Amino acid sequence: MTAVVLDASVVFKWFRPQQRHGAEAKVVREDYAAGRLSISVPSLLSLELLNAAARRWSWDASAVQQLAVDLTRFAFSVSEPSIDRVATWTAHGLTAYDAAYVALADGLGARLISDDERVLEVAAAIALPLSAYRGRTGTTT
């Protein structure tokens, strides 16, 4: 099993698969469901998804509530990054929110799968582009 951190740019696509790289996000989800991936996330992930659903996507209250249930069912490993690592990545030019994902991956010694161009640029040694994820064996292009 491969341990990874996912950021919101990937998990968003599980609920909005028509977005760019939605097919690759589906492969990540399938690999997680099949037990090929162990996924860690900061608690911030749920807040970002709920905020996007309610404000950006204009989902009604029942749909947002169902999203909260779905996020709980995923049973991701929720861990918080060290504030020192978040500060370091923020100083490199990331928002504190994006830095939280990078810092968590950095602290766990795991890859971060992301579709955020700024994250991929700043944290190239840690972040794997979602577009490069091929699944099953964790191979990339």
| Residue 140, in any domain of the structure | no
**pLDDT over 90 (residue 17):** no
| Count of structural domains, the chain | 1
Mapping DSSP to helix (H, G, I), strand (E, B) and coil, where does residue 129 land?
Answer: strand
Cα(3)–Cα(58) distance, rounded to whole angstroms? Answer: 33
Domain that holds residue 24: 2-132
- Has residue 75 been placed in a domain? yes
Of the pLDDT bands very low, low, confident and very high (cuts 50, 70, 90), residue 136 is: low
pLDDT of amino acid 141: 45
**More reliable by pLDDT, 45 or 135:** 45
pLDDT exceeds cutoff 60 at 57: yes
User: Which residue is listed with tokens 């918080």?
Assistant: 80
Residue 113's pLDDT band (cuts 50, 70, 90):
very high
61 — pLDDT class (breaks 50, 70, 90): very high
CATH of the domain at 54: 3.40.50.1010
Q: Does residue 40 lie within any of the structural domains?
A: yes
Residue 54 lies in a domain: yes
